[in-house]
């Protein structure tokens, strides 16, 4: 697992920057009803997406939440007075406080199904009746674009999938939420090159290939034999699901 305190400084630049953030914000807002007055961005990271959510609709109050201190500091610099440091499993807000809640690139990081259920449950709790919860699903699968890099990585030990769409839908249903739409957006600038993938591998990106272990180095060597070491392969396309709280 990556150390997101250490990742904060390079996070945006290494993950597509403003183009990716714009695509994510547009896709989330496409599932949020017009007239929504309050939106909570859970695990807002550096606030690069949150800022765009806040700027897109006049009159919509947007609050960001993140647990990692360095991430929360960066987000607070982008949205002064609108970022709270808190655990997504125990949100410090009243029941029904927000008309919309989103979790972008969060559920796949959960330690296990119980944590995913807790996060979804908290998002449902702070959502007002009639409000919408929007989340990314199937993140790892989105990165498999059928490239030669994916062929090399296909034989690595599998990681647990915490954000499978069917599982997220089941958790949402258990908390009284009903399906309300789907979306997709391109992760601009996130197409992998072999050299970048090797660097990610060596800093702990792949949880089943711990840096420094022989198996990780074996994969690094295989990736180093691919052609066009600095040519990015196609960008991933991420999936969103929306759920409504009946009211």
Residues whose CB is less than 8 angstroms from the CB of residue 194 and which lie 6 or more positions away in sequence, other chains included? 149, 223, 224, 226, 228, 229
CB–CB of 36/58 below 8 Å?
A: no
- For residue 157, the 8-state DSSP code is P
Q: How many CA atoms lie within 13 A of 133 on its CB side?
A: 31
Going residue by residue through the chain (247 aa), what tens digit of pLDDT does each one get?
555 545 546 555 556 568 889 999 999 999 999 999 999 999 999 999 999 999 999 999 999 999 989 889 999 999 999 999 999 999 999 999 999 999 999 999 999 999 999 999 999 999 999 999 999 999 999 999 999 999 999 999 998 999 999 999 999 999 999 999 999 999 999 999 999 999 999 988 888 999 989 999 999 999 999 999 999 999 999 999 999 999 8
Tell me the per-residue pLDDT of 155-202, one tens digit each, with 9 for 90 and over: 999 989 999 999 999 999 999 999 999 999 999 999 999 999 999 999
Tell me the C-alpha distance between 97 and 112, whole Å.
Answer: 27
In this structure, the strands spanning 98-103 and 38-42 are: parallel
Tokens, residue 228: 């066009």
Q: Would the pTM of this model clear 0.95, i.e. be above it?
A: no
For position 8, what pLDDT does the model report? 46
Average predicted confidence (pLDDT) for the chain: 92
Tell me the C-alpha distance between 76 and 84, whole Å.
Answer: 8
CB–CB of 120/89 below 8 Å?
A: no
CB–CB of 107/75 below 8 Å?
A: no
> Which residue in this structure is represented by tokens 């991430």?
71
Handedness of CA 66, 102, 115, 205 (dihedral sign): negative
| Maximum CA extent, the chain | 57
Tell me the C-alpha distance between 88 and 103, whole Å.
Answer: 9
Tell me the per-residue pLDDT of 50-60, one tens digit each, with 9 for 90 and over: 999 999 999 99
For position 203, what pLDDT does the model report? 86
Tell me the C-alpha distance between 73 and 66, whole Å.
Answer: 9
For position 11, what pLDDT does the model report? 56
CB–CB of 27/45 below 8 Å?
A: no
Tell me the C-alpha distance between 95 and 50, whole Å.
Answer: 22
N residues, the chain? 247
């Amino acid at each position: 697992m990556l150390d997101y305190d250490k990742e904060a400084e390079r996070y945006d630049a290494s993950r597509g920057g403003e183009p990716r953030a714009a695509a994510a914000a547009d896709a989330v807002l496409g599932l949020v009803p017009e007239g929504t007055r309050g939106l909570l961005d859970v695990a807002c990271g550096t606030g690069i997406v949150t800022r765009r959510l806040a700027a897109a609709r006049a009159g919509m109050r947007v609050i960001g939440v993140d647990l990692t201190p360095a991430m929360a500091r960066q987000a607070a610099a982008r949205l002064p007075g609108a970022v709270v440091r808190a655990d997504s499993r125990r949100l410090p807000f009243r029941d029904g406080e927000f008309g919309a809640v989103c979790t972008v690139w969060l559920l796949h990081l959960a330690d296990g199904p119980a944590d995913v259920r807790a996060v979804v449950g908290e998002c449902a709790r702070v959502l007002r009746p009639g409000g919408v919860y929007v989340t990314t699903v199937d993140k790892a699968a989105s990165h498999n674009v059928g490239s030669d890099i994916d062929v090399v990585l296909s034989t690595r030990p599998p990681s647990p999938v915490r954000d499978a769409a069917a599982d997220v839908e089941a958790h949402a249903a258990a908390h009284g939420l009903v399906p309300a739409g789907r979306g997709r957006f391109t992760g601009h600038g996130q197409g992998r090159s072999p050299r970048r993938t090797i660097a990610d591998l060596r800093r702990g990106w792949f949880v089943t290939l711990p840096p420094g272990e022989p198996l990780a180095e074996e994969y690094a060597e295989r990736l180093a034999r691919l052609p066009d070491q600095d040519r990015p392969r196609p960008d991933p396309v991420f999936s969103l699901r929306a759920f409504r709280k009946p009211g």
